[in-house]
Structure 1
Amino acid sequence: MDELSIRSATKIRRRKAARAGQGFTLVEVLVVIVIISVFATMTTLGFEAVFGRDAQQETQRLRKVLELASERASIQGKPVRVEFLPHGYRFSTYDTNNEWRLLFEPREFSERSWPDGLGLQRLEIGGQAVTAPYVLQFGSEPPEFRLRLQQNDSVVELVGDITGAIDITPLATLATTAAAAR
């Protein structure tokens, strides 16, 4: 090796040794923060998948999306229906071929599964109990309905009126209902 390459290699080693004592660069710190953030997000989403969505949050979401379906049917002049299935619910609309077509857009109308601890107990439309299949249809005028849901250890009712407004009414906890039955 010639003397120039030896000096060059020595300078590089000295710079690396000097830098090792200085700590981390800003870019290195930012990369570590981004990696930790990604892992924290994945962990949070993983816990949600393991423990399920919160039943109360899903009830609130259902209330809002039912109001949206009512508005859509009223504004567009096309009926929108909600089918309540054993595992969840889905929306469809009447198309130009006079057939019901599942809605996927906007995203709020795509099919949803019930989270753990939430399920349909009863549906009444216009004061009449509905038997399976459970279908709620919105047209130019919203229907009056009562949708009873079991939410973990309590029961709530979504009550829709002819204005399209939907309220959530807590009915009872299952422990209170069991105590009253004794």
Structure 2
Amino acid sequence: MTGNERIRPPRPVWTSWLWGGGAVLLLAVVLVAVFVVVPAITDANRTCGDGVRERGENSECTGITDGEFVFSGDLADVEQRIHADNAAVTGSGDPYVTIAVLLPMTLTEHDLVSPEWVRHQLEGAYLAQHRANTTRSWGSVLPRIRLLPANPGSQLKQWEPIVDDLVGRTGWWR
């Protein structure tokens, strides 16, 4: 050894593994993450709730819910009440019918109706459901009413998939 030579430390073990067969394994893991995991997570984030999906140019949540999913903060109170009544109906063991209320619940500036109008319509549907399920003012309380808020989105643009879903739930042919 002459005085001008440098002493080099040994190469770490992981570098030889990485440049050996480990690089292929690492590349495979990265590719799986990019092409399988990321799209699955992205698709899961696009689902707003059971029966409700993100759709349309406004990325709004449209679909049908039992009230568990809240379409708009303005509707949270009434949708939670609908959900509670629906849970009582389905948990009672009594026969019930299901009625959907189709209203645009995710509004934009281009809609002709106001958030107040939508809230009042949904509140009216809920009051009718609640009265039918808890009083005898309309005769027998059977069958009970299960109410499903159905949101076709701003300007009713997603009405067709919502109607198709509702028709599919009845078993009727279109």
TM beyond 0.5: no
TM-score interval, normalised by the smaller of the two chains: 0.3 to 0.5
Higher relative contact order (CA 8 A, sep 6+): 2
Q: TM-score, normalised by structure 1?
A: 0.32
Q: TM-score, normalised by structure 2?
A: 0.33
- Larger helix share, 1 or 2: 2
- Larger strand share, 1 or 2: 1
